[in-house]
Amino acid sequence: MTAFVLLEDGTRLDGIAVGAPGHAVGEVVFNTAMTGYQEAVTDPSYGAQIITFTYPLIGNYGVSPEVVESPEIHARAVIMREARNEQPPETTGWLDWLSAEGVPGISGVDTRALVRHIRDQGAMRGGIFPGDLTEREARDLIEAEPSMEGRDLAAEVTPAEPIVLEAGADGPKVVALDTGIKLSIVNNLLERGCRLVLLPCTSSSEDVLAQEPDAVFLANGPGDPAALDHVVGTVRELVGKVPVWGICLGHQLLCRAVGLETFKLRFGHRGANHPVKDLASGRIEITAQNHGFAVLGPGGSRAIERDEPVRWETDFGAAELSHVNLYDRTVEGLVLHDVPAACVQYHPEAGPGPHDAVHLFDRFVQMVSAA
């Protein structure tokens, strides 16, 4: 069956329907990783989004239950240049899996043209539609989809009840506000001996402190951090009382909790090849990233001009810029000096991606032990 991609600005690209039948709408974004398509679609941070894969061949090594980032697919649909349904031993075919999970896809699309358009015009709403649907019908469906700005999606992926994960560990007790935590983050914390409690992101600071945590972890997740004032308020009441560390959305939430602001990026950072400079060591790490929002730097700047630590005042004392993105100079990490708190925008667990930054989990455990 034929299918087509339609963006809210009227851009159309045609292809072949794969995966589950039907249509899907959401924010159309792109991911530049060459592998890890299964990890990407099961990452809760892709909630309400349609992923365009820039790598031209997707599905060549099948799918496996061992590499999922959550129990279900969170991306609404996938756009590909060439989709394959290969099934190596002990795996399931990629397209068979999409069909079983009810996720539509489209193959045969000029993804290079689509990505260039998104880079020029910015990520926008759009959808995948069967060829027998009219553009007018498709446009109506797109217009009914809310904008990503101002959207609270964490409530859709947070657990309903606390989840305790100890696995015989005797290390520090870490309470995570679960806004959509990835399984690879959970595994990295457990591998370092942490006793982990995942709380709904609607939990209050009293709920968190009642767990008697040695540290609080702020997870990744979907949506606009500016729409999560209830979580920001909770974090604000925890800073200074217990060590706090955040990744991705958690980085944005911690920054907002100490008085900084966030903004929507033109087309986001999504992939496994983003260079980030550690300003303290001078080391450049190739990182995995998945976010559409970023933190404003000192003076409300969207780009950091110098490759050196920069300090600015927050509601909790001095903060220092620790990492900067070498693609667009955006804030990638922050360390607070007057309270035990830090965060990074990228994914040190790198599922999928390089492991250059996995040492940050060790640094976190050391920070907790020293507090």
For 311-323, write each residue's pLDDT tens digit: 999 999 999 999 9
In which residue are the tokens 């968190």 written? 208
Nearest to 151 by CA among 247, 221, 233: 221
Can the peptide bond before residue 352 be classed as cis, meaning omega within 30 degrees of 0?
A: yes
Say yes or no: 125 and 183 in one domain.
no
Q: What average pLDDT score do residues 55-65 get?
A: 97
Is the same domain home to 90 and 210?
A: no
The answer on 132 and 103 residing in a single domain is: yes
* Contacts (Cβ under 8 Å, ≥6 apart) of 210: none
pLDDT at 369: 81
pLDDT at 78 over 70: yes
149 domain residue, yes or no? no
Q: What is the mean pLDDT of residues 302-310?
A: 90
Question: Considering only CA atoms, which of 369, 351, 359 is closest in space to residue 185?
Answer: 351
Q: Is the pTM of this model over 0.85?
A: yes
**Does 140 have pLDDT greater than 70?**
yes
| Averaged confidence pLDDT in the chain | 96
Nearest of 222, 225, 78, 204 to residue 157 by alpha carbon: 222
Do both 160 and 120 map to the same domain? no
Catalytic annotation present for 347: yes
Instruction: Give the model's pLDDT for residue 253.
Output: 98
Q: Point out the domain boundary residue: 103, 120, 143.
A: 143
- Determine, yes or no, domain membership for 184: yes
Q: Provide, rounded to the nearest whole percent, the portion of the chain with pLDDT above 70.
A: 99
Residue 81 lies in a domain: yes
Same domain for 251 and 103, yes or no, is: no
22 vs 24: CA distance, rounded Å: 7
Q: How confident is the model at residue 4 (pLDDT cuts 50, 70, 90)?
A: very high
- Please indicate, yes or no, whether residues 169 and 135 belong to a single structural domain of this protein: no
The mean per-residue pLDDT over the stretch 26-53 comes to 98
Residue 110 CA to residue 102 CA, distance in Å, equals: 24
Q: Write down which residue in 143, 164, 199 finishes a domain.
A: 143
Residues 176 and 86 in one domain: no
What number of other Cβ atoms are within 10 A of residue 130's Cβ? 16
Same domain, yes or no: 216 and 268: yes
CA dihedral in degrees (359, 361, 364, 370; nearest 10)? -70
With residue 283 as reference, give the H or E element that holds it: none
Q: What is the CATH number of the domain that holds 225?
A: 3.40.50.880
Torsion of CA 165, 198, 222, 42, to 10 degrees: 20
* Position 43 pLDDT exceeds 90: yes
Report how far residue 77's alpha carbon sits from residue 103's, in angstroms, rounded to the nearest whole number. 6
CATH of the domain at 15: 3.50.30.20
Taking the alpha carbons of 115, 117, 121, 126 in that order, is the dihedral positive or negative? negative
201 is annotated as an active-site residue: no
Q: Could you say which of 269, 291, 323, 347 is catalytic? A: 347
Does 77 map to a domain?
yes
- Give pLDDT, residue 284: 97
- Residue 300's Cβ-count burial label (10 Å; 0-12, 13-18, 19+) is exposed
- For residue 169, is pLDDT > 80? no
Separation between Cα atoms, residue 49 and residue 111, nearest integer Å: 16
- Confirm whether 278 is domain-assigned: yes
Given a cut of 90, is residue 337 above it in pLDDT? yes
* Confidence at residue 102, expressed as pLDDT on a 0 to 100 scale: 98
Domain span at residue 336? 154-370
Within this chain, do residues 182 and 202 fall inside the same structural domain, yes or no?
Answer: yes
Residue 272: pLDDT band (50, 70, 90) is very high
Catalytic pick from 194, 201, 248, 255? 248
Residues 135 and 185 in one domain: no
Task: Looking at the structure, tell me whether residues 276 and 338 fall in a common domain.
Answer: yes
Confidence band (pLDDT; 50, 70, 90) for 168?
Answer: low
Phi, psi of 128 (to 5 degrees): -110, 130
- From the list 27, 39, 69, 349, the catalytic residue is 349
Q: Are strands 49-53 and 57-58 parallel, antiparallel or unpaired?
A: unpaired
- Choose one of 110, 143, 176: the last residue of a domain: 143
Give the separation between CA 173 and CA 211, rounded to whole angstroms: 9
Q: Looking at residue 338, what is its pLDDT?
A: 97
CA distance 202 to 179: 9
Share of the chain above pLDDT 90, in %: 94
Domain co-membership, 177 together with 71: no
248 as an active site residue: the answer is yes
SS3 for 149-207, per residue? CCCCCHHHHCCCCCEEECCCCCCCEEEEEECCCCHHHHHHHHHCCCEEEEEECCCCHHH
Count of structural domains within the chain? 2
> pLDDT value at position 167?
67
Distance linking the first and last C-alpha atoms of the chain: 60
Count of residues making up the chain: 371
